[in-house]
Amino acid sequence: MPKVDGVFQFSKPSYVQLARILQAPEPLPDDQKGINSTYYGSLTLENGLEQPAYIKRIPADEIFTEVICSLICCAMQIPTPTPFLAILDGDASLPGIDASRENPLLFATADAKRPTFKSYTESEQIFQLLASWAHAPSSAVFDEQVGNIDRNTGNILMDASGDCCLIDHGFAFNTSVRHDMILDNNTFAKILPYHAKQLRPPKKPLDIISKALPRLEGVKFDELLAFSRGERYASPAHIKRIKLFYETRLHHIRDIFDLRFGTSANQSLPL
């Protein structure tokens, strides 16, 4: 997959690569990982190259959710770390896994070489960097479409220049999100009025969203499914649910943003 510093940088997704973990990855300390056990190590890719990566042991259906979301980001040109489907090989091991008896599929993402947003000291300048990020409108559309209820400071990576990428999509397609409901905690949608004011000339949030929506509407779920290799590891019931969620919500997405931004309102910075 073409990448720059581990981050997707192209407009059309390709097949998610299979990768092997040849040496035991190191567990991340508690203050650096999310709710799942996460490791840092090296992957050997199909072409023989090595890739530093973060590795998570999560259920196969959650791997599918993560991969699909990464591919949607890729197709919408939103930076996100390159995903991989990984297995243990050689002398590699992880706690709780007997490699001689089982070889479970693991989810891995390339090291995007950026700290999380929460690692910065809170200040107006830092929030303005996030608010001015060029991909903020597309990210608002993405999170709204996939019903992501967990876009927080820990799953936005940002370097010192304000260049961001999105990680950790495991709470997307959440069953608590109805197909036609506004997502209450859409971080980038809340930021968007500030993003719009920084443009020259300033724009209305709804006008910016209207330009971002066509990228989403060009993303076809069946193509994503093929690119994800999901039918090899995810349950048919989970794939069916995600497909129904995605395609049904897509019919409502313009109305959802019309309701959100149809009338202007003052909002405070959300993070």
pTM over 0.85: yes
12 pLDDT band (50/70/90 cuts)?
low
For residue 2, the model assigns a pLDDT of 43
Q: What is the pLDDT of residue 226?
A: 94
Confidence category of residue 9, pLDDT binned at 50, 70, 90 = very low
Pairing of strands 17-21, 164-166: unpaired
Better-scored residue on pLDDT, 114 or 10: 114
**Averaged pLDDT of the chain:** 88
pLDDT, average across residues 251-260: 95
47-66 mean pLDDT: 94
pLDDT at residue 123 in the model: 84
What is the torsional sign of CA 172, 176, 179, 182? negative
pLDDT, tens digit, for every residue of 145-175?
999 999 988 899 999 889 999 999 999 999 9
Q: Is the pLDDT of residue 5 over 60?
A: no
110 — pLDDT class (breaks 50, 70, 90):
very high
Q: CA nearest 220: which of 71, 80, 79, 77? A: 71
In angstroms, the CA 48 to CA 230 distance is: 23
d(Cα 204, Cα 140) in Å, to the nearest integer?
14
d(CA 64, CA 87) in angstroms, rounded, equals 15
pLDDT in the model for residue 126: 87
- For the cut 70, the answer to whether the pLDDT of residue 10 exceeds it is no
Mean pLDDT of 175-204: 93
pLDDT for 53 beyond 60: yes
* Residue 200, number of CB atoms within 10 A of its CB: 5
Percent pLDDT > 70 in the chain is 87
Give the model's pLDDT for residue 4. 43
- The confidence score (pLDDT) of residue 135 equals 95
Summarize pLDDT for 197-252 with one digit per residue, the tens: 988 899 999 999 999 999 999 999 999 999 999 999 999 999 999 999 999 999 99
pLDDT band at 89 (very low <50, low <70, confident <90, very high): confident
Interval 3-17 mean pLDDT: 60
Each residue of 112-123: pLDDT tens digit? 999 998 888 888
Q: Which residues of 98-133 are buried (b: 16+ CB within 10 A; e: fewer)?
A: ebeeeeebbbbbbbbebebbeebeeeeebbebbbeb
Confidence band, pLDDT 50/70/90 cuts, at residue 263: low
CA pair distance 146, 110, nearest whole angstrom: 22
